[in-house]
Homo-oligomer: A and B are copies of this chain.
Amino acid sequence: MKSINNNLSEKLIINKYFKKLNLKKKGTFNFENDGAYLTLNNNNYKLSVTTDSISENIDFFSKDDPESIAQKITTVNLSDIFAMGSRPHSYLLNLFLPNYINENWLNLFSNKLKKIQLKYGFYLIGGDLSKSNKLIITSTFFGYLNKNLEIFQNRFNLNDDIWITGNIGESKIGLEILKKNILTNLNNKKYFIKKYLYPQPCKLGPLVSNHVNSMKDISDGLIGDLSDMLRGKYGALINVNKIPLSANTKKILNSRNNFRIENLLNAGDDYGLIIISSPKNRNKILRISYKNNVKISCIGKIIRDKGIHFDSHLDIKNIKKFDHFC
């Protein structure tokens, strides 16, 4: 095996940093085969699958902590797995590594992956390594759910409730603080930058999946993702006062930063869920969220008038849709 990347061979990288992530599961062949077997122990389950990539200078910067990059590649995928009403099962990693990646980086990156795996209960099933001039990470995640369940993103009825989990815009404020577009005190700074560097997926999806009509994670901002769900067939009436904002975000909006709620409606990388469900399931959804310590807010309802409407005046004409593919 020839040496690459500061004398790191493919075998060394796999054996020293990634084998520990297969949790010795059967079917992974301890990463000694070119592929793996993907099995479910229960015939009543089926698999869900999603794949997403993050790239240097687009989704993160080379100076970012490896732990932050590990958090981002897992969160972008886990939030899709949860939105499909499924629980995490396993994942694949395709790593494109530039020369600056060293053993310290690999150690921090893989240890953070292991922590996230143990938190949510999934394992690494395989992957591949390539050299590259910039760091790119693709990951494919597998989830499992009841065979008969199917969660669409665009099936709902007139008057259905529109819920969102968590608070919106916090990752975006973190990024604006890093770009020095927002000035704030040290505590606020730390709070928001952490939200940007360590976004968390929302585990509620599989817990409420029997009571919802549609679910989607918020990766491109509330307006962008909700528009995707409506697909020009229905509209949404949003109660502006119900849009969930943290106390820290309210402080920023009330400060002299000239930063308004409109700026948060298309803030990417929140990774909460948009849930659309029948009003008759309102209490069930509230109870499950409360029991699982997940903040959830009913922000509006599905209406006949196409487009997204707000019950108060908001200047959203000039809001650019967040787009990862730009």
Chain A interfacial positions (CB closer than 8 Å to B): 1-2, 4, 9-10, 29, 32-39, 43, 46-53, 55, 58, 80-81, 83-84, 92, 94, 96, 125-134, 136, 138, 140, 142, 147, 150, 152-154, 216-217, 219, 231, 321, 323-326
Contacts and interface: CB of A to CB of B under 8 A. Distances in A.
A37 B128 contact: no
19 contacts: A1-B321, A4-B325, A35-B48, A37-B150, A39-B46, A39-B47, A50-B126, A51-B140, A52-B128, A53-B96, A53-B130, A53-B138, A55-B132, A58-B131, A128-B138, A130-B325, A133-B133, A133-B134, A136-B136
Given A34-B216, A83-B34, A326-B4, A138 B47 contact: no
Contacts of A142: 38
B49 A125 contact: yes
Contacts of A96: 53, 55, 136
A2 B266 CA distance: 14
Given A29-B153, A34-B84, A51-B128, 12 more contacts: A2-B321, A10-B325, A29-B152, A32-B154, A32-B231, A34-B50, A35-B48, A36-B50, A51-B94, A53-B128, A130-B325, A136-B136
Given A4-B326, A325-B130, A37 B48 contact: yes
Contacts of A55: 96, 130, 132
A49 B32 contact: no
A51 to B, nearest CB: 5
Nearest to A154: B32
A315 to B, nearest CB: 20
B52 A36 contact: no
A200 B251 CA distance: 62
Contacts of A154: 32
B43 A43 contact: yes
Interface centre among A33, A153, A216 (most CB of B within 10 A): A33
A213 to B, nearest CB: 14
Contacts of A80: 34-35
A48 B36 contact: yes
Nearest to A129: B325
A49 B92 contact: yes
A233 B229 CA distance: 56
A2 B326 contact: yes
